[in-house]
Structure 1
């Protein structure tokens, strides 16, 4: 059994400095400090690809990580990627769109406490990730607090607590109990392995708030190729007092405007309310029950392939990497 661990930095690789925690440890050091043993024929190779705080991760880094995985998947039984927690869900989603039908488990993990600190959660998370990389099923996943979650369904829900990630609108795939992986949901990907790294990072993410002006929206719209608008609840755009709907309607004719929800669970249904139906008529593209991370990275990925709004609408409604529970109308 051969597993590759790719390091990208983050809290798991951090040590205390005069200016706070900073990513600086290599994978070999992390594995040694975690007490991860190579036994019973297990071979663990290490690759320190990056070593940065995940706040500093950029879309170009997703491509670099994806390329490293693609070049390695036929040499290993599983791959683990250590990553900072702040942008881990964005990376797992982006990799899921760029790397499809991988033939081995690819598991992202990290920790909320550095490996250098007492009672760090790093050893447990690494153990879960490596165990699933050995015994799991092909696909892109996140391992955290003994849980295995699908890469396109994960969001960070706690900024400090150890149980920092949840699977949104989709059950956990599996969990580690003792030394055994217990499956809750069997997933099957089929087809040729594809590395499709086309990304356009010129996407803005705007949160709808009372008082958001059409002028502000259009000022942002002029600077980007697409917009994710985080709406209220099931979705809708205000037109009373400040007619944001009119501005969105103008923008949506030229550029994709995708609506997701500020609510963590449930997703967007623009057919439910009158304000939602008006948004649909204005050309807004619903995100369904995708996470905010999957919505943003999928739009970047779609824009990497086309600028045509109708073609992007078709891509966004199609289930590419199990990011949607059902394909959208």
Structure 2
């Protein structure tokens, strides 16, 4: 039987309501007792490293999680991390970049409802995550509502429903039904084990980044503040890459950021299909500068990748190259 390490960090899945609202409460043994049968599938060991609501997640805790996987890597065949849903997609992306050449499954899961609640999704999600962690597959994944999602492609799109997560701009890795795993065979090939893979733990993250969502009438002065205070900014543009250039002239401010050495990543507010700065006149003007293309990456992955990249280099050309180079299927073009 394979050996699985279950790493608990809190979240709704482990919550209880003792009169003051849901707060993380249950330990690993409590969780496993409510998922009968999984101990017949594998040898499973637990490690409780955090007990937080995932709204309180931060990059330091990402490092703790990645460190736990790295320290125990040779002793286990797969890893399951229980986590709150609100920031789960950020964490799955961050672990993908920090655990370079990962050659085992790391499966993150959680629940919309506490494991003590009637009709909870916690039992099924945890069971599915453990089953998938037993597979011969490489990468970081999210298991939720019977679906397995590439860790850099997941987004939480619903606040209450059980199908809270969506795989954006990328097929689902697999689905799990009645305990059986059904793969997308074309995608499965991208996550096959590599015989020569050596795990490298890259823990240096630069958190001095900002996500800025454009809106009609945004004051350009915000860019003067960004230029002084941040090393990187992710601009959520309109549509396929639209940035205002008349009246409220944002284009010239973006150029100033680039000239000052700030890493500027342009993405879209739209959920699917990504950006293309070659379509409109303003985009072509920006594209001649050192704009970093997010392509079809989602914002959660871009945040983690920008932190990881700036932790490796402050050279803008190198940052641009690293961001635009696909890692574990995080972008398709």
Q: Distance in 1 between matches of 2:83 and 2:10?
A: 6
Q: Distance in 1 between matches of 2:252 and 2:125?
A: 48
Q: Distance in 2 between matches of 1:200 and 1:182?
A: 38
Report what 1:324 is aligned to: 331
- Alignment length (residue pairs): 325
- What's the CA shift for 1:77? 1.5
- What's the CA shift for 1:262? 0.6
1:273-310 deviations in Å (ceiling 9; x for gaps): 11211222343211000011111110110100111111
Structure 1, 213-222 or 20-29: larger mean CA deviation: 213-222
Q: Distance in 1 between matches of 2:29 and 2:223?
A: 47
Report what 1:193 is aligned to: 199
Report what 1:222 is aligned to: 228
Report what 1:21 is aligned to: 22
Report what 1:275 is aligned to: 282
1:159-198 deviations in Å (ceiling 9; x for gaps): 1111000111110001112121111131235432111111
Q: Distance in 1 between matches of 2:167 and 2:110?
A: 16
**Is 2:240 aligned against 1:239?**
no
Q: Distance in 2 between matches of 1:115 and 1:150?
A: 24
Among residues 206, 213, 219, which one is paired with 1:207 in the alignment? 213
1:185-221 deviations in Å (ceiling 9; x for gaps): 3123543211111100110000011111210122133
What TM-score, normalized to structure 2? 0.94
After TM superposition, list the pairs within 5 Å mapping 1:73-112 onto structure 2: 73-112=73-112
Structure 1, 172-181 or 190-199: larger mean CA deviation: 190-199
Give 3-state SS (helix, strand or coil) of 2:16's partner.
Answer: strand
Structure 1, 279-288 or 62-71: larger mean CA deviation: 279-288
Decide whether the 8 Å contact of 1:255 with 1:307 is kept in 2.
no
**Is 2:302 aligned against 1:301?**
no
1:50-69 deviations in Å (ceiling 9; x for gaps): 01000001101101100001
Report what 1:138 is aligned to: 138
Give 3-state SS (helix, strand or coil) of 1:106's partner.
Answer: strand
Q: Distance in 1 between matches of 2:177 and 2:206?
A: 40
Q: Distance in 2 between matches of 1:17 and 1:217?
A: 45
Structure 1, 198-207 or 12-21: larger mean CA deviation: 12-21
Decide whether the 8 Å contact of 2:100 with 2:199 is kept in 1.
yes
Q: Distance in 2 between matches of 1:8 and 1:245?
A: 42
What TM-score, normalized to structure 1? 0.96
Q: Distance in 2 between matches of 1:246 and 1:218?
A: 11
Any stretches of 5+ residues in structure 2 without a counterpart? Answer: none
Task: Indicate how the Cα distance of structure 1 residues 102 and 113 shifts in structure 2: closer, same or farther if over 3 A, else same.
Answer: same
Decide whether the 8 Å contact of 2:38 with 2:127 is kept in 1.
no
CA RMSD of aligned residues (A): 1.3
Give 3-state SS (helix, strand or coil) of 1:217's partner.
Answer: helix
